């Protein structure tokens, strides 16, 4: 459930099992629920003892998502919670850059990500030196980095954003009179946002601003993609529509612009959940990491979510209940950042939380 209010944690194993069965019946086999309820119960006890808070991204596997997180949500919601929590330990059940963002926002806290290997193809596709080089080629252009970047890249940026507020952050900068805005690293998110704002797009990898008309606003991007969302095609959209003529198709803006042009709604994982909650439709299909379809189906048993998709993010998939328990037992894996990175990455991330 995407929520910013704390979830109540069942006190006994029986209560944990009952609550998981209620949510996950028909989604997860019962023998698996029983096995995972035991882990969830141990995690919930330890979490209390250690004064820890667990944040669960919307892409967590259903048994984890519907048992141990105190809060679930998209990157923007979880960053905001991480910035305010009074818990001693933040366990980020998500990928590494999310843990780094929490550390920058609340550096006194111990921040743990349950796997060392939970990366992201976007975050790995750009480095601080690339940003420095882009600034030289487009002098004066503000740099907006997507939250799916490491803190070293954020430290070289002016603003951060998530897919939930990319349009607002870019619009804010164009309204300020900027004609060029560098928006890195996801090419498709940058192109989709430029289309939304009716602004031109330029691939910034080896271009310069010299031939650009001075008065035309331009989004300057980078050319990396989400290894999961780039796999969705227009053919997939057409196949779903052929099978379900009454379906509402919702896609994450990390999908290719041709795909976005063929769907009904575009938005962050929170936008998807809000849409399903608020708008009645005969059925919904989500073009995003496929675990989310299961999580939403469990959350809204009276809504029909088409679940014909099997694309998993191998990075998000690293985070399991077993590893979350180990993370609490061994206080691993700690997110550590150099003080100057924390200091320089803070302002762009604070701005991301403010512009919503």
Footprint on this chain of ligand 13P (rule: CB under 6 A): 58, 74-75, 148, 162-163, 226, 252, 254, 268-269
Using CB under 6 A, which of 120, 184, 240, 263 touches ligand SF4?
120
CB of 30 to ligand SF4, least distance (A): 29
Distance, CA of 232 to CA of 250 (rounded, Å): 12
Query: Looking at 103-111, 207-215, 223-231, 325-333, which segment touches ligand SF4 (CB under 6 A)?
Result: 223-231
Smallest gap from Cβ 191 to ligand 13P, in A, equals 16
Stretch that binds ligand SF4, among 116-124, 132-140, 332-340, 344-352 (CB under 6 A): 116-124
The answer to whether 148 contacts ligand SF4 (rule: CB under 6 A) is yes
Task: Kindly tell me which of 152 and 163 has the beta carbon lying closer to ligand 13P.
Answer: 163
| Total residues in contact with ligand SF4, by rule CB under 6 A | 14
| CA 327 to chain CA mean position, Å | 21
Query: Which partner in ligand SF4, ligand 13P, none is near 268 (CB below 5 to 8 A by kind)?
Result: ligand 13P
Q: Which of 28, 40, 226, 298 binds ligand SF4 (CB under 6 A)?
A: 226
CA neighbor of 103 nearest in space, from 323, 328, 337:
337
Q: Pick the closest to residue 46 from 108, 99, 103, 112 (CA basis).
A: 112
121's contact among ligand 13P, ligand SF4, none, with CB below 5 to 8 A by partner kind, is ligand SF4
Applying CB under 6 A, does 224 fall inside the site for ligand SF4?
A: no
* Residue 309 is a binding residue for ligand SF4 (CB under 6 A): no
The alpha carbon of 7 is separated from its chain's Cα centroid by a whole number of angstroms, namely 20
Cα separation, 102 vs 79, in Å, equals 6
Q: Are 164 and 201 in contact (CB under 8 A)?
A: no
Q: Find the shortest distance in angstroms from Cβ 262 to ligand SF4.
A: 20
Cα-Cα-Cα-Cα dihedral sign, residues 308, 314, 320, 322: positive
Minimum CB–partner distance for residue 235 and ligand SF4 (Å): 20
Query: Least distance to ligand 13P from the beta carbon of 50, Å?
Result: 26
Residue-wise DSSP of 234-269: HHHHHHHHHH-TTEEEEE-TTS-HHHHHHSSEE--H
CB of 290 to ligand SF4, least distance (A): 10
Tokens 């969830």, located at residue: 40
Site track 95-114 with ligand SF4 (rule: CB under 6 A), x = hit: x-------------------
Least spacing, CB of residue 251 vs ligand SF4, in Å: 13
Q: Which does 227 bind (CB under 5 to 8 A by kind): ligand SF4, ligand 13P, none?
A: ligand SF4
Residues 287-306 that bind ligand SF4 (CB under 6 A): 289
CA-based torsion, 246, 26, 22, 327: positive or negative:
negative
Comparing CA positions, the residue from 34, 30, 40, 35 lying closest to residue 9 is 40
Distance separating alpha carbons of residues 261 and 256, to the nearest angstrom: 9
* Residue number, 40 or 102, with CB nearest to ligand SF4: 102
Q: Does 192 bind ligand SF4 (CB under 6 A)?
A: no
Going along the chain, which residue ranges are E strands?
A: 52-57, 71-73, 89-93, 110-112, 143-146, 159-161, 180-184, 200-203, 218-221, 247-251, 265-266, 283-287, 305-306
Tokens coding 36: 């995972």
For residue 162, the partner it binds in ligand SF4, ligand 13P, none, with Cβ less than 5 to 8 A by kind, is ligand 13P
Residue number with CB closer to ligand SF4 (117 or 329)? 117
d(CA 356, CA 353): 7
Interface contacts to ligand SF4, rule CB under 6 A: 95, 120-122, 148, 226-229, 254, 289, 313, 315-316
């Amino acid at each position: 459930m995407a929520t910013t209010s704390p979830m109540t944690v069942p006190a006994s194993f029986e209560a944990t099992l009952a609550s998981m069965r209620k949510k996950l019946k028909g989604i997860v086999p019962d023998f698996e629920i029983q096995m995972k309820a035991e882990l969830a119960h141990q995690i919930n006890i330890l979490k209390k003892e250690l004064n820890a808070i667990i944040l669960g991204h919307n892409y967590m596997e259903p048994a984890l998502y519907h048992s141990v997180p105190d809060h679930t949500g998209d990157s923007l919601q979880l960053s905001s919670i991480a910035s305010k929590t009074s818990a001693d330990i933040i366990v980020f059940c998500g990928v590494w850059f999310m843990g780094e963002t929490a550390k920058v926002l609340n550096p006194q806290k111990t921040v743990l990500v349950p796997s060392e290997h939970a990366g992201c193809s976007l975050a790995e596709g750009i480095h601080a030196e690339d940003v420095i080089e882009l600034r030289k080629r487009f002098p004066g252009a503000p740099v907006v980095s997507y939250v799916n970047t490491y803190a070293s890249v954020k430290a070289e940026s002016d603003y951060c954003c998530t897919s939930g507020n990319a349009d607002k952050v870019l619009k804010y900068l164009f309204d300020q009179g900027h004609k060029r805005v560098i928006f890195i690293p996801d090419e498709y998110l940058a192109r989709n946002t430029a289309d939304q704002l009716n602004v031109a797009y330029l691939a910034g990898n080896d271009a310069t601003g010299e031939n650009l008309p001075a008065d035309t606003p331009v989004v300057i991007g980078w050319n990396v993609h989400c290894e999961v969302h780039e796999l969705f095609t227009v053919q997939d959209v057409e196949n779903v529509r052929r099978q379900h003529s009454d379906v509402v198709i919702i896609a994450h803006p990390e999908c290719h612009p041709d795909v976005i042009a063929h769907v009904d709604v575009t938005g962050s994982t929170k936008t998807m959940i809000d849409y399903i909650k608020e708008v009645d439709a005969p059925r919904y299909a989500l073009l995003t990491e496929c675990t989310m379809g299961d999580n939403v189906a469990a959350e809204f048993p009276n809504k029909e979510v088409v679940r014909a998709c099997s694309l998993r993010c191998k990075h998000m998939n690293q985070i399991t209940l077993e590893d979350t328990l180990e993370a609490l037992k061994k206080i691993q894996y700690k997110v550590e950042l150099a003080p100057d990175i924390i200091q320089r990455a803070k302002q762009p991330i604070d701005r991301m939380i403010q512009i919503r």
